[in-house]
Structure 1
Amino acid sequence: MNINKYNFEAIIALNDYLITVKKIEDIFEHLSSYLEDNLCVNKVEIKLRDKILFRKFEEVKGLKKRSFEIYLNKQDSLSVFIHYFENETENINECFDFIKIIFKIVSQTIYNRYLEFRLHESNLKDSLTGLYNRQYVNEYLRTMLPLSKREQKKVAFLKVGIDHFKAVIDEFNYEIGDRVLKELAKSLESSVRKSDIVARIESDEFLIVLHNITNENNAIMIANKIIENFKDVKVIVDEDNNQTLMKTICMGISIYPDDAERVEEIFRSSDIALYEAKNRGRSQLFKFKKGDDTIELF
């Protein structure tokens, strides 16, 4: 193949630019745009081991899909798949060698940015449950709230607390307490949309961010569903005797921008609502209202 027919210097320039890009998804977006604009390649999938890092591909009915794989880093199994249809075979074969050269040049940039992404992500995740932590929520809200305000969309914040969680520790141990937390985390994630955010804020308290809700009744309906779902969760206490523990949760609800507009106000209003819910008993929820600035804890 004649490499001179392609702009080799442009690949070097592309990689130099990708090094400056901070977000890994932006690297993939710029790279896929280059492939599509210059080589008519618009069906790309990049994997690390068996995990898909990036995928841009649309199925077309009636056309048989083919693919070829390029190993970028054999030691860590970083690879790229170029998918194409039978009617594109000639074009793909013509530029196959050059595509390999592109990814050979940019592979280290992709891998380095991925490692940075994983390191940053680990600082924003709770090590026990795998959920996001409070630091992530703070960063996320500072970006998300102004966007919701411009689009005039409501956001619900559901503060979740386990009823009498300390009694679990006193009766059993911290290992059983951790099991309860893990099971609750799984139950919360399975009860909301993938686009919603679930985070562990404190030891036994979680926060759910529900995007683009219609009104507070919508949030209340979802909160009730979450409470009911966790009632059915069984936590194994003694595997030998098949002994299980069933717990309940309470929930406080705050709506942006109706109840709070700033991040610190959101945390405060949802805290107050949760305490009020717990004061009412097990499996309770309470919707915060402006003016509820004080609360009797006992």
Structure 2
Amino acid sequence: MRNSIIELIKQSASDKVAFETLDSIFKLYEQLQYSSNLNQLASDIFLWLEEEFAIKNMVFSLFDINKNNKTDILAKGDKFYLDDDLSQFFIINTHTNLNATISFCASSEEHSLFLENKYNSIEATFFIISTIVQNAILKKNFIDSASLDSVTNVFSSHYFIENLSSYLKLSNNKQNEIFLLMIGIDRFKAVVDEFNYEIADKVLIELARVIHSNINEFDIVGRLETDTFLVSILSNDDENQACEVAKKIISDFSKARVIVNEETRQTLQKTVSIGFEKFVLNSNMSLDDAIKNADIALVEAKNRGRGEFLKFSKINSSDNFKLF
């Protein structure tokens, strides 16, 4: 699969069709990052295949290597079998016990020849989106309705804390370290006091949106307390880049406007502060300690003002902070 995308990139330099195909693949990649669940992701893939390659018959399945069984997530069009002359299938290796299989059947022999000619482009597509499919499968394995915060639709506190260690192992983080961002809304209680809980929920939802728009599909978010979110950056091993992500969240949220009165179009702007800590797997520090350190850094950041970013490592022993 990797060779297919490399070849397509080379062709795109001089071939307009290859360039347009590559552009379409990356648009699909961007779109899939906003898929709310595995079923939605499978549906988005089908719609893309239908538009790009006129595919009407498709099955998106999960194959459990350990149990040796297959579960269909989405089936579209007429029923077909993999040994049909007009059918093709692709396996997306997710580096877990569950692999995704996407199979489809051409509508005619002419269509089948067309798909065979487009084989490398289709294979390149599945290589590009494999990380997003992997992440969706990992989430499907763990998530149930009790695992999501009812307001923001991010992970609940209990789920996030209890399952982060398992998630780290399954997500195949080669760097063996993650960065924790403890994010808190500055003076959030004032929103409730001045307006109401409905407006407060809108602020929380907007913050969740800003967070998701700045992180990678491998990174995960949990709501720990009323106005506090924890983000685990799993997707890169560059501490400076992780810090830039945090600062971008602070900047973007400060510009966000929440409508508090539909008639007058009155809006509200708030700020967030972020505490930062690095957690190294198999180190002397436990994950719980790393989370506590990020929380301490957040408290001290809020003590210093609004819209502040602070690493735990930058806190002096002489600093006075109070945990509640």
Normalising by structure 2, we get a TM-score of: 0.57
1:172 equivalenced with 2:192 (yes/no): no
Q: What's 2:151 paired with?
A: 128
- 8 A Cα contact 1:65 1:83, kept in partner: no
Matched residue SS, 1:283: coil
Supply the AA of the counterpart residue of 1:134: S
Q: What's 1:270 paired with?
A: 294
Q: What's 1:220 paired with?
A: 243
1:250 deviates by 0.1
With over 3 angstroms needed to count, the CA separation of the structure-2 counterparts of 1:55 and 1:291, relative to structure 1, is same
1:79 deviates by 4.1
Distance in 2 between residues matched to 1:150 and 1:247, nearest whole Å: 34
- 8 A Cα contact 1:129 1:182, kept in partner: yes
Supply the AA of the counterpart residue of 1:266: A
Distance in 2 between residues matched to 1:236 and 1:225, nearest whole Å: 22
Distance in 2 between residues matched to 1:168 and 1:296, nearest whole Å: 24
1:249 deviates by 0.2
Matched residue SS, 1:181: helix
Select which of 201, 211, 214 maps to 1:188: 211
Matched residue SS, 1:209: strand
Supply the AA of the counterpart residue of 1:68: N
Q: What's 1:68 paired with?
A: 57
1:53 deviates by 4.8
Distance in 1 between residues matched to 2:181 and 2:216, nearest whole Å: 14
Normalising by structure 1, we get a TM-score of: 0.61
Q: What's 1:281 paired with?
A: 305
**What is the root-mean-square deviation of aligned Cα atoms in Å?**
3.8
Distance in 2 between residues matched to 1:79 and 1:146, nearest whole Å: 31
1:201 equivalenced with 2:190 (yes/no): no
1:149 deviates by 9.5
With over 3 angstroms needed to count, the CA separation of the structure-2 counterparts of 1:56 and 1:261, relative to structure 1, is farther
1:266 deviates by 2.2
Distance in 1 between residues matched to 2:187 and 2:169, nearest whole Å: 37
Q: How do 1:53-92 residues align onto structure 2 when only pairs under 5 Å count?
A: 53=42, 65-68=54-57, 79-81=75-77, 83-85=104-106, 86=109
1:263 deviates by 2.5
Supply the AA of the counterpart residue of 1:279: N
Distance in 2 between residues matched to 1:88 and 1:140, nearest whole Å: 46
Q: What's 1:240 paired with?
A: 263
**Unpaired runs of at least 5, structure 1:** 1-47, 71-77, 91-116
Distance in 2 between residues matched to 1:270 and 1:222, nearest whole Å: 15
Distance in 1 between residues matched to 2:278 and 2:43, nearest whole Å: 34
Which sits farther off after the overlay, 78-87 or 273-282?
78-87
Give the percent of matched residue pairs that are identical in Structure 1 and Structure 2: 36
1:225 deviates by 0.6
**Unpaired runs of at least 5, structure 2:** 1-36, 60-73, 78-102, 114-139
Distance in 2 between residues matched to 1:119 and 1:207, nearest whole Å: 18
The alignment of Structure 1 onto Structure 2 pairs a total of residues equal to 216
1:265 deviates by 1.1
Q: What's 1:32 paired with?
A: none
Distance in 2 between residues matched to 1:120 and 1:211, nearest whole Å: 18
